[in-house]
Amino acid sequence: MDTLIKICGISTPETLDAALNAGADLVGFVRYSRSPRHVELDQGRALSRQAKGRAQRVVLLVDPQDEAIAEAVEALDPDLLQLHGHESPDRVREIRARFGRPVMKAVGIAEEADLAALAPYGEAADRLLLDAKPPRRADALPGGNGLAFDWRVLAALDPSISYMLSGGLTPDNVAEAIRLTGARAVDVSTGVESALGIKDPARVEAFIRAARAAYGTEGR
């Protein structure tokens, strides 16, 4: 199976160029007003056009209504919809069918017992994104909190489940995360930022370089 590296929460042309030039396979644009990485539709449209043909374009949405999805699809023309809220498996199926785009569903993980929720979502979505459960604070975001979960719990995961590993990854620990989990796809946002919501091109490049080295795909 191919290896994939995703840089999420991109909001400027300069950061996007850094990700694309370093060889990101997927780039993510956040449509969630509470997030410091949120992009307006016109901003997202321009970024998506910049990335077209160079990487898969992902739009992240949180418990979206159909109108919000339609707006994002029309403006950004994403290759993949990422659902990062409390969407049920039935809602995932509905969105996938209605909008004709592949869907990646984020599922929060804190302990081995959380893996039981994956099978229903795995049947509904094209891919799962395994992220750390958010802190129990009123101001906590659904994702992008820079927190990792205990990767060792994934030893009990059904190997047939296609997933992307997220949560607390950085240029310094992504190789270890790949080694421990065997994940063939990784996602980062906070771990390549110099300040909240501000991507650091050097860290973006370092993350992609470290992941490629761990996968043995440097130069490809």
Q: How far apart are CA 179 and CA 165, in angstroms?
A: 12
Query: Is the predicted pLDDT of residue 145 greater than 90, yes or no?
Result: no
8 is catalytic: yes
φ, ψ of residue 207 in degrees (nearest 5): -65, -50
pTM of the model: 0.93
Q: Which residue among the candidates 131, 139, 150, 187 is catalytic per the annotation?
A: 131
131 is catalytic: yes
Instruction: Assign domain 4-215 to its CATH superfamily.
Output: Aldolase class I (3.20.20.70)
Instruction: Delimit the domains of the chain by residue range.
Output: 4-215
158-194 pLDDT tens trace: 888 889 999 999 999 999 999 999 999 999 999 999 9
Mean pLDDT of all residues in 117-128: 94
What pLDDT is stored for residue 154 in this prediction? 94
Tokens of 132: 């750390």
Q: What percent of the chain has pLDDT over 70?
A: 93
Q: Which residue among the candidates 2, 8, 114, 200 is catalytic per the annotation?
A: 8
Cβ-Cβ contacts under 8 Å for 210 (sequence gap 6 or more): 171, 172, 174, 175
What pLDDT is stored for residue 72 in this prediction? 98
What pLDDT is stored for residue 217 in this prediction? 83
